[in-house]
Amino acid sequence: MLETITAPAPEPRAHVVVVANEKGGTGKSTTAMHLIVAALRQGFTVASIDLDAGQGSLTRYIENRARFGVRQDASLPLPHHAVFAASNADSRAAAAEDERQRLAALVADLAPRFDCLVLDTPGGDTPTVREAITYADTLITPVNDSFIDLDLLGRVEGNPPKIVSPGRFSAVVWEQRKLRAQRTGGSIDWVVLRNRLTTLGSRNKAAMADTLQELSKRVGFRPADGFGDRVIFRELFFQGLTVLDLREEGLGFELTLSHVAARQEVRRLIEFIGLAGKIAPAERPGKARLSVSLQTGPGAR
Site stretch for ligand ADP (CB under 6 A), options 27-35, 111-119, 160-168, 215-223: 27-35
Cα gap 179→168, rounded to integer Å? 17
Strands 80-83 and 116-120, bridge-based pairing? unpaired
Cα gap 298→247, rounded to integer Å? 8
Mask for 119-158, x = binds ligand ADP (CB under 6 A): ----x-----------------------------------
Of residues 47-106, which lie at the interface with ligand ADP (CB under 6 A)? 57
| Backbone φ, ψ for residue 184 (5° rounding) | -125, 0
Residues 6+ apart with CB under 8 A from 211: 147, 150, 154, 156, 161, 163
Cα gap 48→221, rounded to integer Å? 23
- Of the residues 24, 54, 124, 297, which one makes contact with ligand ADP according to CB under 6 A: 24
Sign of CA dihedral 243, 248, 250, 252: positive
Min separation Cβ 258 and ligand ADP, Å: 10
Of residues 159-198, which lie at the interface with ligand ADP (CB under 6 A)? 195-196
Mask for 31-70, x = binds Mg ion (CB under 5 A): --------------------------x-------------
Min separation Cβ 57 and ligand ADP, Å: 5
- Of the residues 6, 26, 29, 48, which one makes contact with Mg ion according to CB under 5 A: 29
Cα gap 188→17, rounded to integer Å? 10
Cα gap 141→274, rounded to integer Å? 16
- Of the residues 15, 65, 100, 230, which one makes contact with ligand ADP according to CB under 6 A: 230
Site of interaction with ligand ADP (CB under 6 A): 24-30, 57, 123, 195-196, 227, 229-230, 233-234
Site of interaction with Mg ion (CB under 5 A): 28-29, 57
